[in-house]
Amino acid sequence: MPLLIVNADDFGLSPGVNRAVIKGWREGILTSASLMAGGAAFDEAAELARGNPALQVGLHLTLVHGRSVLPPAEIPGLVDDSGNFTDNPVLAGIRYFFLKGLRHQLYREIEAQLRKVRDAGISLSHVDGHLNIQMQPTVFGILMELAPRYGITTFRLTREKLTPLLLADRQRTLGKRADALIFHRLSAWSLPQLLRRGIGFTDGVKGLLNSGRMTEEYLLPLLDEQLPGRTELYFHPGCLPCPEITKRMPDYRHEEELAALVSPAVVRKVREKGIRLVNYRGEEKTV
């Protein structure tokens, strides 16, 4: 019987995202969410998480396209004077890899994000990253050091098979091919280290190559596929109007992704296929 983890990224980014996460959890198939420690609506999200303790929460590590937790003066190589990371993930990945002097600043910021979530009374179950920055080799190495100290036993090992997606959606073909190749190589490099440390991960991930477009139209045929034993689907739901998500992700179909999470047709398909909705801890959700 296939096991499906359904995760919402960007929890804490804005009130619009927070409303969508809770709606997807209470009314739909959502089983977990990933919390942005530097998000403008972090405090509200933390309160909602405490009020919904069965909603599993992980860290949505943010080192690009967002704000830091530490003051800019403490990590000047990572952020501008206002505490903003670069919006360019490729540039960030290159700088974090080649500028060895940044490792100490990265370590301190990553630990500050973990500590902020823990200090808000939230027990982290897993870690992933905004724009999948958790897979960047320097960042990955730091997380492998810190995760055991913060009780994190599972990790989003991001990789996705390209061929089934291209059969369903031919948009952005070159970009999807590049993403699939990059993350295939990163996951192959990361996998032995996760195994050696006993940190868990899913058999498959869906959401990388169709990020921001995980709509009902896309999701229903995906649920008909022969999914591997335990698969994570990750979404970016949101409720509009919300200036923050419109500014940061103008092309994402936030409300359509939320509609997919609470869709009666999707719920029926999950039941018909005998799919078990679980979180990273293995706790099952009934819909």
The answer to whether residue 111 scores a pLDDT higher than 90 is yes
The answer to whether residue 125 scores a pLDDT higher than 90 is no
**Dihedral sign (CA 169, 128, 57, 241):** negative
Taking only the tens place, the pLDDT of each residue in 236-282 is 999 999 999 999 999 999 999 999 999 999 999 999 999 999 999 99
Task: Give the number of other Cβ atoms within 10 Å of residue 88's Cβ.
Answer: 12
Given this model, what pLDDT does residue 171 score?
A: 64
Closest C-alpha to 75, from 92, 54, 89: 92
Query: Which structural domain range is residue 9 located in?
Result: 3-285
Give the domain CATH number at 231.
Answer: 3.20.20.370
Given this model, what pLDDT does residue 162 score?
A: 78
Nearest-angstrom CA–CA distance, 17 and 4:
22
Is 48 or 163 the better-scoring residue by pLDDT? 48
Task: Give the number of other Cβ atoms within 10 Å of residue 148's Cβ.
Answer: 12
pTM of the model as a whole: 0.94
Given this model, what pLDDT does residue 213 score?
A: 94
Q: What is the mean pLDDT of residues 2-10?
A: 96
Given this model, what pLDDT does residue 168 score?
A: 57
Given this model, what pLDDT does residue 172 score?
A: 65
Closest C-alpha to 152, from 115, 189, 98, 205: 115
Given this model, what pLDDT does residue 229 score?
A: 87
DSSP string, 60-110: EE-SSSSB-SS-GGG-TTTB-TTSBBPS-HHHHHHHHHH-GGGHHHHHHHH
Given this model, what pLDDT does residue 233 score?
A: 97
Taking only the tens place, the pLDDT of each residue in 82-107 is 999 999 999 999 999 999 999 999 99
Nearest-angstrom CA–CA distance, 74 and 9:
27
Taking only the tens place, the pLDDT of each residue in 176-222 is 788 899 999 999 999 999 999 999 999 999 999 999 999 999 999 99
Taking only the tens place, the pLDDT of each residue in 127-183 is 999 999 999 999 999 999 998 899 889 999 999 987 656 555 666 677 778 889 999
DSSP string, the chain: --EEEEEEEEETS-HHHHHHHHHHHHHSS--EEEE-TT-TTHHHHHHHHHHSTTSEEEEEE-SSSSB-SS-GGG-TTTB-TTSBBPS-HHHHHHHHHH-GGGHHHHHHHHHHHHHHHHHTT----EEEEGGGGGGSHHHHHHHHHHGGGGT--EE------HHHHHHH--TTHHHHHHHHHHHHHHHHHHHHHHHHHT-B--SEEESSTTTT---HHHHHHHHHS---SEEEEEE----SS-HHHHHH-TT--HHHHHHHHT-HHHHHHHHHTTPEEE-TT--EE--
The answer to whether residue 30 scores a pLDDT higher than 80 is yes
Quote the number of domains for the chain: 1
